[in-house]
Amino acid sequence: MIIQSPYLLFLGDAVDPLAAKVAQGIKDWRPDACVGQLRQPGCQADLGIPDMTVQEAIDAGAKTLVVGVANRGGVISESWLSVFVEALESGLDIASGLHNLLTDESKLVEVANSRNRQLIDVRIPQVEYPIANGKPRAGKRCLAVGTDCSVGKMYTALAMDKAMRDAGRASSFRATGQTGILITGDGVPLDAVVADFMAGAVEYLTPDNDENHWDMIEGQGSLFHASYSGVTMALIHGGAPDALILCHEPTRTHMRGLPEYSLPSLTELRELALTLAKVVNPECKVVGVSVNTAALDDAAATALCKSIETELGLPTVDPFRHGAERLIAELK
Amino acid sequence: MIIQSPYLLFLGDAVDPLAAKVAQGIKDWRPDACVGQLRQPGCQADLGIPDMTVQEAIDAGAKTLVVGVANRGGVISESWLSVFVEALESGLDIASGLHNLLTDESKLVEVANSRNRQLIDVRIPQVEYPIANGKPRAGKRCLAVGTDCSVGKMYTALAMDKAMRDAGRASSFRATGQTGILITGDGVPLDAVVADFMAGAVEYLTPDNDENHWDMIEGQGSLFHASYSGVTMALIHGGAPDALILCHEPTRTHMRGLPEYSLPSLTELRELALTLAKVVNPECKVVGVSVNTAALDDAAATALCKSIETELGLPTVDPFRHGAERLIAELK
């Protein structure tokens, strides 16, 4: 599964900016890959890039229409479908992370087949992944692990990857979730992979590479989250990281979606993640902490990072606020 | 997925007794569910139960033909198919754990549909499992965890379940693999469940129960096995065990299928499994050790168990050799 860029970002009739957060993520992290946005009447989101029709996007070089908006009511509406059909007929592929699959829409399948275009549902694994073999691979790998789900692991890996490349170092962001895959155009939708093949899918995603090349692997779930910890485990054992970054969101009062569960401390996370990582890579180190301080003001954010840094003895930053330079300085 | 018993065990043209080990397991653990065996010319396995034709089995009450033999060359042979067709036409369901699916054989599907019989491929999940909610459930649960894969976790859980029921205590063996499912007629094929739903599938398998009822959950993989550790993790967090049994095979020189990996010590397994189990069940305890001593003579087996018992301070037995009574005595 490789999604051809550049993209036309489809925002449809997004009810608010949050509904278009996938498009926002693509625009933030791959601005060069976005020729424009397509908005329909009533759209309440705006990425600040040129509004384009399908034909204008094609004239500007677009290869794929990417559905960057969440749909309402669990169906793909008629007004969306008419744009998708026009896009296929005009020569674009379509990529989507919606729960409703493009390939479940018979009209889209028919047009895509007749025009020889691709419908790419990134929630569906497109590859038969192998069973993990646990063998060491050349090159280096960094994995973000969290005290909880949705604490900023993807953002951290993307920010570190960008800082690496800005510094002229060899790095690849390795996507393991829908948004990450749409951002990079490639990856493994790990939560949709069959249990026996999870770790093998992560090995497949992070193959042998140059000695100094770093894979920045997008984390999923949390070792302390009862619903998804098995996915996190497969990332640690399949990814065989050389470096771990601990990710945390300080205002969370309980584990996401599990009101009975409190969050672990960063020290507990450090100890458990490192113990597990050393099973496959005895050289693994925990090298830094990434704190999502979006809910704090500048002074509180800086104070919190300083306090964690003192307690754990690890470089601690919010990569959005402070940059990821201090984290990548630990990748040696 | 519930497989109707009693069974006619199909041994086909098994090349040796090992090829019929699934049938052997069913006969060993559910002798009451087996009316007979069906062997074809050249069959080199014998369960020591009556040989029967399809019709004789039906006359003896059989409801399902269970494929208890591994096939050769990755195809279901013509000679097997003719028996399967006869079974369906005569009124039996068919259940199988083969990689080759019954439902991929168009002739079988056609006959099963026309006769309203079931084709049950136990490798394929038959249920849309929920995402785990991590909520405490009534009743008690015991999970076997191993230093490696294939060290006797299923056998241990089956032996403990039988010892519990022999002692008049409430217990259910909860199958999570193909052989276990064929033995009990029910369960979750965990290695074939999609990642996001693994822990939820285990919660589904071990629901609320009477206060004194114990689920004996079949373990899978190992926390220390790079290929399958995510499945083990989902069992620990979905199963929320009150008691853990450590399982070990003393002659293993490296992790199964991973020649670069040595086995962890039982102490390392105890510490890691308990840390993870306490995330969802803070009351969890490690209560005993089950050693597979098949490769040792009586004196060596007894000496090894005694030595482990002294080192770990936990009751240590080979349930096949010494019975499971000392293990279930720890389930309170």
| A133-162 pLDDT per residue, tens | 999 999 999 999 999 999 999 999 999 999
pLDDT value, residue B1: 66
Task: Tell me which DSSP letter residue A242 carries.
Answer: S
- Tell me the C-alpha distance between B223 and B229, whole Å: 5
pLDDT value, residue B73: 72
Average pLDDT over residues B99-126: 95
- Chain A touched by B136 (CB under 8 Å): yes
For the cut 70, the answer to whether the pLDDT of residue A56 exceeds it is yes
Contact A177, A276 (CB under 8 A): no
Confidence category of residue A27, pLDDT binned at 50, 70, 90: very high
Helix (H, G, I), strand (E, B) or coil at A256: coil
Average pLDDT over residues A25-46: 96
Cβ neighbours of B32 (radius 10 Å): 7
pLDDT value, residue A71: 81
Test the A interface: residue of B233, B255, B258, B276 with most A CBs within 10 Å:
B233
- Tell me the C-alpha distance between A181 and A204, whole Å: 15
Option in A227, A234, A264 nearest B199 (CB): A227
Q: In terms of DSSP H, where are the helices of B172-240?
A: 178-184, 198-205, 229-239
- First-residue to last-residue Cα distance in chain B: 31
- Chain B touched by A94 (CB under 8 Å): no
pLDDT value, residue A1: 66
Residue numbers in B near A238 (CB within 8 A): 226
CA dihedral B124, B129, B134, B137 (to 10 degrees): -90
Give the rounded distance of the alpha carbon of A285 from its chain centre: 23
Task: Tell me which DSSP letter residue B51 carries.
Answer: B
| Residue pLDDT, tens place only, B188-238 | 999 999 999 999 999 999 999 999 999 999 999 999 999 999 999 999 999
- Which amino acid, one-letter code, is at B323? G
- Spatial CB neighbours of A90, under 8 Å, sequence gap ≥ 6: A54, A55, A58
Average pLDDT over residues B307-320: 98
DSSP A42-99: T-----SS-B--HHHHHHTT--EEEE-SPPSTTS--HHHHHHHHHHHHHT-EEEE--S
- Tell me the C-alpha distance between A39 and B165, whole Å: 65
Q: Side-chain half-sphere of A176: how many Cα atoms within 13 Å?
A: 35
Confidence category of residue B324, pLDDT binned at 50, 70, 90: very high
- Chain B touched by A75 (CB under 8 Å): no
Residue numbers in B near A145 (CB within 8 A): none
Confidence category of residue B102, pLDDT binned at 50, 70, 90: very high
DSSP B255-292: BTTBTT-PPPPHHHHHHHHHHHHHHH-TT-EEEEEEE-
* Nearest alpha carbon to residue A27 among A52, A2, A10: A10
What is the residue whose two structure tokens read 């770790």? Answer: A199
DSSP A114-149: HHT--EEETTS--S-PPPP-----SSEEEEEEESSS
**A21-28: Cβ within 8 A, 24+ apart:** A21/A70, A21/A179, A22/A67, A22/A68, A22/A69, A22/A70, A22/A97, A22/A178, A22/A179, A22/A182, A23/A47, A23/A66, A23/A68, A23/A69, A24/A68, A25/A179, A25/A182, A25/A183, A26/A66, A26/A68, A26/A179, A26/A182, A26/A183
- Chain A touched by B193 (CB under 8 Å): yes
pLDDT value, residue A2: 85
- Tell me the C-alpha distance between A187 and A125, whole Å: 9
Option in A133, A192, A231 nearest B230 (CB): A231
Based on its alpha-carbon atoms, the radius of gyration of chain A, rounded to whole angstroms, reads 20
Average pLDDT over residues A8-19: 94
Helix (H, G, I), strand (E, B) or coil at A193: coil
**Rounded-to-5 percentages of helix, strand, coil across chain B:** 40, 15, 45
pLDDT value, residue B71: 81
Give the rounded distance of the alpha carbon of A324 from its chain centre: 17
Give pTM, 2 decimals: 0.94
Cβ neighbours of A53 (radius 10 Å): 14
Contact B163, B324 (CB under 8 A): yes
Contact B10, B43 (CB under 8 A): no
CA distance B20 to chain A (A): 24
* Nearest alpha carbon to residue B173 among B157, B188, B155: B157
- Chain B touched by A229 (CB under 8 Å): yes
Test the B interface: residue of A128, A129, A193, A196 with most B CBs within 10 Å:
A196
Q: What is the mean pLDDT of chain A?
A: 96
* Nearest alpha carbon to residue A182 among A292, A70, A273: A70
Question: With an 8 Å Cβ cutoff, are A258 and B136 in contact?
Answer: no
Nearest CA in chain B to A200: B227
- Tell me the C-alpha distance between B20 and B9, whole Å: 10
pLDDT value, residue B227: 96
| Residue pLDDT, tens place only, A82-126 | 999 999 999 999 999 998 999 999 999 999 999 999 999 999 998
Average pLDDT over residues A32-51: 97
For the cut 90, the answer to whether the pLDDT of residue B70 exceeds it is no
Contact A61, A69 (CB under 8 A): no
Contact A188, A129 (CB under 8 A): yes
Sheet holding B140-146, edge to edge: B171-174, B214-217, B140-146, B243-248, B285-291, B316-317
Nearest CA in chain A to B282: A261
